[in-house]
Structure 1
Amino acid sequence: MNLALSDEQAMVRDMVRRFLADRYDATTMAKGPMSSDDWRALGELGLFALLMPEQAGGLGGGAVEVMIISQELGRALAITPLAEAILLCGRALAADQAVGGWTDRLMQGDALLAFARGGEVVDGRLSGLADIVRDGVNADAFVVETEVGALLLVDVQDSGIRRIPVRLVDGSMAANVRFDAALAQPLTAPASLWAEAHTLAGLSIIAELVGAMSTLLDLTVDYIKQRHQFGKPIASFQVVQHRCARMYTWLEQSRSLLLKAAMVGEKERTRAVTTARAYIGDTALKLAEEAVQLHGGMGVTNELAVGRGLRRVLLLSRLHGGGIAARSALAA
């Protein structure tokens, strides 16, 4: 297995890193969702097209590109809808030529799609409740997976949609969405394509977690070098060194599992991503908690990036069932 990035992949990584460095630092990380202007700018850079299949007009980027982009977003603690809007909803639309307009707008960053579960269809209309739909407040349309597994596209312009805002732990907004006989367009995504979309969305989430772990460790090491107690930097205390060494071990183990999940063959990827989620979901949260503790009381406040980072990691580590769901899937 070749673990080195190609020249093109390294260029993508560096481009995303520069873009985010211009917009985020320790005072702004995870302070709120990425602005619509910045999201649109990422679309103009071609990142969303890179992650979309060629059949939808994209560039056909694969798991490694998903890992690269998501990890950089995680390093900046950027709050974005990448995993669900692009990798889930975008790929659900990829096989339907009739919704090509949505696909184009999505790749350009001009439209936001949200993924919802729940409801049933009667005579082409969707009714039911979808709880905690991420980015559901600002979504222009919903990709809905019904209780029987059917995929639908629902435009928010339909009068049969009601949204109740819900603020999540990282400060982003979700919604409880009620569909009251809303007009729904069936999607024809093959089961294999939909399964691949879920796998890549899971890969994106764990890549964001690994990126966030890296930043939280760096912030913590910088802090303990500056903080003095008993006339010495606390970095000189053996117990603090041991705790940082343990955090570093968690990060490197997580990074190794992420690399394996991104670089194995397609037939092995679903299990590799599930295995990585089973470990990284819980480990990232432990590292974030250690980072906060080593910062002391200020670590839990919204003034420091580690406090905001903890809340971001808490959300990411619980998405789609988190480590518990991943371990259950491995045991099944």
Structure 2
Amino acid sequence: MRLAPNQDQTIFAGVLARLLEDDGIAGFHTVANWSRYEYGEALDDRLGEAGFFEAAREADLGPVAAAMMVHEIAKAPVVIECAASALVRPFLGVEVPRPLAVVVDDAPGAIRFLPQAKTLLSISDQGLRVAPVEGQCRAVESLFAYPMGCLDVSPDWTALDTDPVEVRTLWQIALASELAGVLSGGLAAVLAYVRDREQFGQALGSFQGVQHRLAQDAVWIESAQLLALRAASSRDPADAALALGAVQERATRIGYDLHQFTGAMGLTLEHPLHRWTYRARSLRSEMGGASQAFLDYADAKWGGR
């Protein structure tokens, strides 16, 4: 893969970055009743109106631009349903209304973004199914800093004639991009904190022990993003599984470091760190977690030989 984006991808990323600089639609604000998340409806609307969710369909942008978008939006304090809409929906072979919620292998429990979703996508070895779910679910309380919901009725499924392996691969890329972005957003918040917070008369970030740990975290996060972009470029099941497994494996240690260096402040709802680290707790277990992703990687590389 050429790690340098092409001209169209560079312009796409620049326009997206300017949009995300608008604190009014993408910045941190405390929420009524101290909710653990803020759904960025204004940001979602702006992205939809500008056609950002269609980037993967464009030959000069493609899945790489979509993966970049998922990563950058995951860095924002607000949360929107982006990963499935940007990287999976364009390749389903049919038009389905977004936002999307995704369930893999009929995993039990609450589903991310179901309260906002208009369509539920089921991915399994038996195939792909979609169902309209708007108004058919209930929101449930969660620590995960995502809107979570459960269905009240059995979905009215429609089977799709699309390769489930391809869609599973795209969903792994989407999750890897989102988790890398979530961790990157948390790291940026911690870096700002240690630059300002003083101990023993100097900035906390001036101590080498702090610098070394956060530098290692930055390397892990950057490498996770590059693995996700490589997988988006190749759309290879092995690359996708490796990208997801690598970032899921490191997420716990990175989350520990981020909270270690913000101390008690990072545990409060007045500080935005919890939004990223609790999202990471959810994403690191998606699709069976790192151990399952590495088994998928081994299967894709050497299975059947």
Settle same-fold status: TM greater than 0.5: yes
In structure 2, distance between residues paired with 1:235 and 1:86: 36
1:329 aligns with 2:302: no
Larger Rg computed on CA atoms: 1
Report the equivalent of 2:12.
12
Q: How does 1:1-332 map to 2 (within 5 A)?
A: 1-22=1-22, 23-27=25-29, 32-52=37-57, 61-89=61-89, 91-92=91-92, 94=93, 96=94, 100=95, 102=96, 106=97, 111-116=98-103, 131-145=109-123, 149-156=126-133, 163-180=137-154, 183-189=156-162, 191=163, 194-263=164-233, 265-266=234-235, 269-332=236-299
Q: 1:246 to 1:153 in 2, by over 3 A?
A: closer
- Once the two structures are TM-superposed, the CA of residue 116 in structure 1 deviates from its matched residue by 3.7
- Once the two structures are TM-superposed, the CA of residue 330 in structure 1 deviates from its matched residue by 2.7
* Contact 1:27-1:304 within 8 A present in 2 as well: no
TM-score relative to the length of structure 2: 0.82
Q: Which moved more, 1:58-67 or 1:195-204?
A: 58-67
- Structure 1's consecutive aligned runs of 4 or more residues displaced over 6 angstroms after TM superposition are none
In structure 1, distance between residues paired with 2:178 and 2:132: 29
Considering only aligned residues, what root-mean-square deviation do their CA atoms show, in Å? 3.0
- Once the two structures are TM-superposed, the CA of residue 38 in structure 1 deviates from its matched residue by 2.8
Q: How many residue pairs were aligned? A: 294
In structure 2, distance between residues paired with 1:256 and 1:140: 31
In structure 2, distance between residues paired with 1:234 and 1:175: 40
Instruction: Give the SS at the match of 1:171.
Output: coil
Q: 1:309 to 1:155 in 2, by over 3 A?
A: closer
Instruction: Give the SS at the match of 1:253.
Output: helix
Q: 1:70 to 1:118 in 2, by over 3 A?
A: closer
- Once the two structures are TM-superposed, the CA of residue 12 in structure 1 deviates from its matched residue by 0.9
TM-score relative to the length of structure 1: 0.76
Give 5+ residue unaligned stretches, structure 1. Answer: 53-57, 120-128
In structure 1, distance between residues paired with 2:244 and 2:137: 30
- Once the two structures are TM-superposed, the CA of residue 130 in structure 1 deviates from its matched residue by 5.9
In structure 2, distance between residues paired with 1:4 and 1:73: 20
Q: Which moved more, 1:315-324 or 1:26-35?
A: 26-35
In structure 2, distance between residues paired with 1:66 and 1:276: 16
Say which structure is richer in strand.
1
Give 5+ residue unaligned stretches, structure 2. Answer: 300-305
- Once the two structures are TM-superposed, the CA of residue 179 in structure 1 deviates from its matched residue by 4.0
